[in-house]
Structure 1
Amino acid sequence: MTEQDTLSATREAYDAAAAEYARLFRDSLRESPLDRAMLGVFAESVAASGKAEVADVGCGPGHVTAHLHGLGLRAFGVDASPGMVGLARSAHPQLRFENGSMATLDTADGALGGVLARWSVIHTPPAELPAVLAEFHRVLAPGGHLLIGFSASEGPSHPTQVFDHAVAPAYRWWPDHLAALLHTAGLFEVARMVRAPQPTDRRRFKEIHLLARKDGTESSGPGE
């Protein structure tokens, strides 16, 4: 399957599931204090870099984009699914949402202080992920930050693993492997959060948040 075929299949699957997805996840941050904390660290890191515009790639129904806006960032959402973008625009008419691919963002070089990719790369085939990370690097300003969320694979001997996803084929990544891919793209790990699977989780996977920075300027972390 070509990259375009993968994108089209994922778009169609999320269009079909958009309303149910929005119903299930639009309030998910209320029950996720660790996720909120990591988003807060990301927001402070972006603000400290002096360039507060952020792209939420794979934004879905826009609830996390709105959360970032509430944290003081000039956040906008990008999603390949027109159905998701329509729901996001209806729910958050004050914010900007665009149809687009995270592999070819309609953003100038170095224009952004931050990119959020929260479970957005899980449908990206491993061979295509380096190009996506290179695109994130392209749109970030020097000193800008990327926060990427994903599910962990079983161990370093299995750096990527396919898992059963309700919407489209998906991949888990070993955190050190993904951090190495980020490093190759010019994005250097600042911090990571590992969330153990909870009793109520449908999938028994560790959840990972990796915060990375594009080199080029000195940047202190939040509170420094």
Structure 2
Amino acid sequence: MTGDNWEADTRASYDTVAESYADQVRGAIAHYPYLRAALAAFAESTGGGPVADIGCGPGEVTAHLNELGVEAFGIDLSPAMIALARRTHPGLRFEVGSMVALELPAASVGGLLAWQSLIHVPDAEIPAVLAGFHRVLRPGGPLQLLFHVGDTSRLKTEGYGGHPMKVRVHRRRPERVSAWLRAAGFEVEAELLLDPAAEVPQAVLFARRG
């Protein structure tokens, strides 16, 4: 996989696994109290207006945020994921789009969330992605990221029911992601490390547009 085709590979992979992925994550939030707490904190910190869930997949997190009283909508690279999200949550807004080139007006969202969606973005693209997040957020708007913790990158060729995939999964240290955020104009407010003894922990970063 090269830096030139990672988006096409990611789109095709998630189009392929959309149904089985949705089956796996359906209702999963109910089993993770710390993730629910992170979403509740995010919902409380938004200042009103629409909130973008970037890399929304089948829309589970988008729907949960709406249940918390947030006007959330979802964007995902995979048309199959968006079709699933629209079928499953017909009252909510979902759009196909790329985080590398968000088609949202400047300062148009009151909050932005990206859970496990930056994990497929190459290092070289991260500053541009975060600059885009900064552009579309209103001043003071919250940003929440969830990602795998580590120092490695691996090519994933199969997943979610054994279907073929071709995506590179990047594990990153919270301090590295925090440095990228600060360089993009964000203030990092908090960090939550989930299951630190696991082979692959996860981290949640809470930041705000400066």
TM range (shorter): over 0.9
Per-residue CA shift, 1:58-116, capped at 9, x if unaligned?
A: 00000100000111111000000000000000000000000000111111100111111
Deviation at 1:197, TM superposition (A): 5.2
Deviation at 1:163, TM superposition (A): 3.3
| Residue number in structure 2 paired with 1:156 | none
Distance 1:43 1:52 in 2: 11
Per-residue CA shift, 1:107-136, capped at 9, x if unaligned?
A: 110011111100010000011111101100
| Residue number in structure 1 paired with 2:181 | 182
Distance 1:129 1:183 in 2: 12
Distance 1:24 1:181 in 2: 31
Using structure 2 for the length normalisation, give the TM-score: 0.92
1:210 corresponds, among 183, 201, 205, to: 205
| Residue number in structure 2 paired with 1:170 | 169
Greater than 4 Å deviation, 4+ residue runs: none
Which amino acid in the other structure matches residue 187 of structure 2? Answer: F
Structure 1, unpaired ranges of 5+: 154-159, 216-224
Deviation at 1:188, TM superposition (A): 1.1
| Residue number in structure 1 paired with 2:32 | 32
Distance 2:185 2:27 in 1: 34
1:90 corresponds, among 79, 83, 87, to: 87
Aligned length, in residue pairs:
201
Task: Give the aligned CA root-mean-square deviation in angstroms.
Answer: 1.3
Structure 2, unpaired ranges of 5+: 160-164
Which amino acid in the other structure matches residue 80 of structure 2? Answer: G
Distance 1:26 1:17 in 2: 14
Deviation at 1:2, TM superposition (A): 3.9
| Residue number in structure 1 paired with 2:22 | 22
Q: Secondary structure at the match of 1:189?
A: strand
Is it true that 1:64 corresponds to 2:55 in the alignment?
A: no
Which amino acid in the other structure matches residue 89 of structure 2? Answer: H
Is it true that 1:121 corresponds to 2:112 in the alignment?
A: no
